[in-house]
Structure 1
Amino acid sequence: MTVNNLSSSTDDPRFHHPFGSEISLLQLAQSLDAAASWEAKNRLLVQLSKQLPDWPVAQKTADAKVSGCESQVWLRCNPSPAGWQIAADSDSRIVKGLLALVLTAFNQRSSTEIIAFDFEAWLNERGMQRFLSASRGNGLRAITEQIKSEVSR
């Protein structure tokens, strides 16, 4: 994955999403906590996925692709004065909803905040881990590790 220059991310529609800006981690935690069953959590993930912009095919490049995910996932991290801008897309609607959770946790945060945040523990507190297959859990781990690696450079 490459870090793009700052000017491109402000104009890049892939980075125009509400996660981590208009939708806070607390708001998302409350919504997930209120969704008691997997069906309710699944519906919420699908709703969240619809708020992430679809990437044009030309931008779904090999250098943006996350390895270790069963579904195809693309990720970009750009530094900015307000914190890291993070964009992601997937070919799976549920995975795209899970990406919304990741983006809410990490988008517009400092490197220090991103590295310190335990996303897996946060998911466990929301009761999400028990609903995720091993492959989805491994994919989420690969995504968060790639973000943390990128912001550590």
Structure 2
Amino acid sequence: MASDAFEELVDTFDFLDDWEERYRHVIDMGRAMDVLDPALQVPANKVDGCASQVWLQTRIDGDVFTFQGASDAMIVSGLIAVLQALYNGLTPAEVTAVNAPTELARLGLDEHLSSQRSNGLRAMVARIREKAAAA
């Protein structure tokens, strides 16, 4: 179960002809996302296990889970935006119920990311799930 925004992203990826276009789209998504306040780029928000620098700041308003993120790598910023499409707007229980590997496989990410990027993506998903479970 993914968010409506993620379903739209799946549709967009289906429309794009090749991985190069999808890759550019992911990077553009990262460029378009809201900037994480540098004051929140602190060790407590840093995600370990990523080759690049990554910070995630989660928030729960009522029963709605959202997060913001930042990275020093363009493709990783795009992956943060993909995860925002997957998770933002769900309840914490829904976040923990999402099968991220299955959902992300619908985009073909598992086939086109380096092992380091894949490990970083898994680390980001683990952090998001951990924060949602603690809510």
State the TM-score, normalizing by the size of structure 1: 0.80
Q: How many Å apart are 1:55 and its aligned residue?
A: 2.8
Summarize the alignment of residues 13-92 of structure 1 with structure 2, pairs less than 5 Å apart: 24-92=5-73
The aligned residue for residue 74 of structure 2 is 93
Q: Match of 1:88, SS?
A: strand
Asked if the contact 1:69/1:135 (under 8 Å) is kept, the reply is: yes
Separation in 1, partners of 2:61, 2:41: 22
Aligned length: 132
Separation in 2, partners of 1:37, 1:131: 11
Q: How many Å apart are 1:82 and its aligned residue?
A: 4.7
Within the candidate set 97, 117, 122, 2:103 is matched to: 122
Q: How many Å apart are 1:84 and its aligned residue?
A: 0.9
Is the aligned partner of 1:136 residue 2:82?
no
The aligned residue for residue 9 of structure 1 is none
RMSD over aligned CA atoms reads 1.5
State the TM-score, normalizing by the size of structure 2: 0.90
Which structure's residues are more often helix, by fraction? 2
Separation in 1, partners of 2:104, 2:128: 17
Q: Match of 1:24, SS?
A: helix
Separation in 1, partners of 2:117, 2:127: 15
Q: How many Å apart are 1:137 and its aligned residue?
A: 0.8
Asked if the contact 1:75/1:87 (under 8 Å) is kept, the reply is: yes
Identity of aligned residues (%): 27
Separation in 1, partners of 2:116, 2:21: 21
